[in-house]
Amino acid sequence: MTSNKHQQGVTLLELIVVMIIVGVLAAIAIPTYRSYVMRSQRTDAKEALLALATQQEKFYLQCNMYADAIGNAPSCAGAGTLQGAATSQNGWYTLVTNGDAVSYTATATAAVGENQFQDEACREYTITDRGIRSAENAGGTDNTAECWR
Looking at residue 20, its pLDDT comes to 92
Query: Model's pTM, two decimal places?
Result: 0.76
Looking at residue 2, its pLDDT comes to 57
Looking at residue 114, its pLDDT comes to 84
Query: Is residue 75 helix, strand or coil?
Result: strand
C-alpha distance across the termini of the chain, in Å: 75
Show the low-confidence residues of the chain (pLDDT under 70). 1-7, 72-74, 78-79, 83
Helices 43-63 and 12-41: angle between axes, nearest 10 degrees: 10
Looking at residue 72, its pLDDT comes to 65
Q: Which residues pair with 106 in a beta bridge?
A: 97, 127
- Residue 103 CB neighbour total at 10 angstroms: 13
Q: Please work out, in degrees rounded to the nearest 5, the angle formed at the alpha carbon of residue 134 by the alpha carbons of 73 and 116.
A: 75
The alpha carbon torsion through 73, 75, 79, 85 (nearest 10 deg) reads 20
Looking at residue 4, its pLDDT comes to 64
Looking at residue 149, its pLDDT comes to 85
